[in-house]
Amino acid sequence: MEFANAFILLCNFVIVPSITYGSQLALGAIGVTLIYGVLRFANFAYGDLMAFGTMVVILITWWLQSMGISFGILPTALLAIPFGIVVTIAISLFFDQYVFKYYRDKKSSSVTFIVVSLGIMFLLNAIVRIIIGPNDINFMDGERFIINAVEFKNSTQFEEGFSLKTTQVITLITTAITCYILFYFLNKTKTGKSMRAYSNNEDLALLSGINPNKIILITWIIVSILATIAGTLYGLDKSFKPFTYFNNLLPIFAATIVGGIGNPIGAFYGGFVIAFSEIALTFAYKKFLIYLTIIDPNTTNLIQYISTDYKFAISFAILVVVLIFKPQGIFKGKLI
């Protein structure tokens, strides 16, 4: 029985990646759910907003790097994030003022908003690709690994080398800090409570004297911050490819609905549920089970429940299960 090796293997390929991926989805899902709760539509442009924010961060990172500025073992991109946030906020507010506001005033249906967000999606998609090109960009610098697999294997005597990338730790810490601040804001400040009230019951919020324009402004600011951070973390961890950001929107939507649409805590947990499921169900457990001497080392079967190509199927299956058994989501959100 080699519990330690089995455990290390699981950490390397399931637990740590799930936490990382889950954090990225969680941040994205919270953004989508906030837009849904306050502005009342599913924003299909959110993925490309994340791409836009990341693009700005990359450009500023390159500029900083060209001036010889770096951040030691941490990626320089972290220094660029605040600037990325500012620009993303600006473009979100621009689109809100000149596009979405018109339909809000007209009290258009949610379908209209979805279609309009498609238009914004095309625009952002084009802008990102025209400015930075469609190719893979790797903007990670600084120390790549906090714990290196080879060094681990050498210093301990385990067969499995545990490795921990800097980006994984950064993702976890950044997400934790961001979410802590966000939930503090939502639960303990006047404006945060007003936002939750407005999201819960718009008419009553107006009757309580809450200023809707202020709420909407704050929402776009928060959402832009989350989009930039989430997009940058994802880009640092994997690489920046504009095309993948829209695809990531699908599990993010699933996470939002699973957690209860309109419910930020639900979105947070939903992100992790989806991430863990996607990774755990597509992992090949063969080596893991061999370590635990549950199966014979000569088996050819990979013991993989479903191929990694079917990641979408998992998000969708979870979505369907939740919609059938618990339509408001695991944590209560707005009813269907």
**DSSP code of residue 309:** G
Q: Please tell me whether residue 165 adopts helix, strand or coil conformation.
A: strand
Q: How far is the CB of 308 from another protein (least distance, A)?
A: 9
Q: Which is nearer to another protein, 63 or 243 (CB)?
A: 243
* Measured CA distances, 94 to 39, 81, 177, 221 (Å): 15, 20, 28, 12
Identified binder of another protein from the candidate list 170, 257, 274, 279, rule CB under 8 A: 257
Query: Is residue 246 part of the contact set for another protein (CB under 8 A)?
Result: yes
Q: Which is nearer to another protein, 121 or 140 (CB)?
A: 121
Q: How far is the CB of 160 from another protein (least distance, A)?
A: 26
Q: Which is nearer to another protein, 104 or 153 (CB)?
A: 104
Query: Is residue 324 part of the contact set for another protein (CB under 8 A)?
Result: yes
Query: Is residue 210 part of the contact set for another protein (CB under 8 A)?
Result: yes
Subset of residues 117 to 146 that bind another protein, contact rule: CB under 8 A: 118-127, 129-130, 133-134
Q: How far is the CB of 42 from another protein (least distance, A)?
A: 5
Query: 10-44 burial, b if ≥16 CB within 10 A, otherwise e?
Result: bbbbbbbbbbbbbbbbbbbbbbbbbbbbbbebbbb
Subset of residues 58 to 117 that bind another protein, contact rule: CB under 8 A: 99, 102, 110-112, 114-116
Q: Which is nearer to another protein, 203 or 296 (CB)?
A: 203
Subset of residues 14 to 43 that bind another protein, contact rule: CB under 8 A: 41-42
Type of residue found at 327: P
Query: Is residue 197 part of the contact set for another protein (CB under 8 A)?
Result: yes
Phi (first) and psi of residue 92, to 5 degrees? -65, -45
Whole-number CA gyration radius for the chain: 21
**DSSP code of residue 272:** H
The sign of the torsion formed by the CA atoms of 258, 260, 266, 267 equals positive
The sign of the torsion formed by the CA atoms of 34, 37, 39, 45 equals positive
Q: How far is the CB of 102 from another protein (least distance, A)?
A: 7
- Binding segment for another protein among 20-28, 139-147, 195-203, 289-297 (CB under 8 A)? 195-203
Phi (first) and psi of residue 137, to 5 degrees? -125, 130
CA distance 150 to 160: 9
Asked if 254 contacts 274 with a C-beta cutoff of 8 angstroms, the reply is: yes
Query: Is residue 173 part of the contact set for another protein (CB under 8 A)?
Result: no
Q: How far is the CB of 234 from another protein (least distance, A)?
A: 18
Asked if 265 contacts 34 with a C-beta cutoff of 8 angstroms, the reply is: no
Question: How many residues of this chain interact with another protein, rule: CB under 8 A?
Answer: 66
Subset of residues 286 to 315 that bind another protein, contact rule: CB under 8 A: 305-307, 309-313, 315
Asked if 279 contacts 14 with a C-beta cutoff of 8 angstroms, the reply is: yes
CA distance 195 to 292: 50
- Residues in contact with another protein by CB under 8 A are 41-42, 99, 102, 110-112, 114-116, 118-127, 129-130, 133-134, 190, 193-194, 196-197, 199-201, 203-211, 243, 246-247, 250, 253-254, 257, 305-307, 309-313, 315-316, 319-321, 323-325, 332, 336
